[in-house]
Structure 1
């Protein structure tokens, strides 16, 4: 078997660690030896890419935030209405969290990972876009984004635990609407019906 490309090996190690987290449901199950076995390499090969287990786990979490951001970006692409973009981004967030629930839990259990701030800024920008378009009464886009994120995190956590919400899309719309102070209609009419 020909040797792997070093960049590919690093990606394979990260994928192997992520798979171990999902399969076992725990970051604690990830060891350098287990990751090497999962990736089909020797344990010393891991040290060529990561200084220690913590660096490997951090790479897995960073990759999780990058994947989350990519899912949100894909979901909102081509949507012009800021409220619909916000709702679509929130739906993608929940979907991504449920696709890899063990990694998702680990992403928010560890200390701050740089990708986490970038992913959160997407939500803040989406609330601010609603505000700027006159579609939200928010006076604090970041503060309201924290409320929306907290609720989304709760939705992912509850659904991953088996507590299913009926009409997830309707609940997400209500949650986003209330916490981001979204106006469902653009004002400007005379109110006559």
Structure 2
């Protein structure tokens, strides 16, 4: 009676199996990470719209008042608004809590419950940006009733970039910072990638 010869895997076969498993793990991890990035970007797009909607709701509930805020301003309980620091204009970062001793549009929206307290903390800030939302008054509206609200994405697509460009063209007849060239302008807005305009 012939005895069966048991043959194990060769080193080459084991290496092939290990390599295949490693490749599958890398592919799976990449897909997972991309899915997470897309989910965070979708959340940011939604957050941008909610922030803009809150500004419009606040204005309609305050007789069409313009929101103010920024570095060096304080909250005015009488008007339920930040003090007007820039001659009826808004410039700069406007998240709640972005300035330790100043008032922002975000601070007002949270204080008056137009946005939940955890609204800003639940959004994922792009690590290269100082904050989440930047707001500028539109130079195309002399009455000062139009704003552009901007934020960043981790992986913006061509549609995002094209929409951002169109929103800028609608909002600015001149660049937000006087005397700034195109390169300076995009640096001053920290290369935000998506935007929406708000008309009050």
TM-score, length basis structure 2: 0.28
Higher helix share: 1
TM-score, length basis structure 1: 0.28
Higher strand share: 2
Rg comparison, structure with higher value = 2
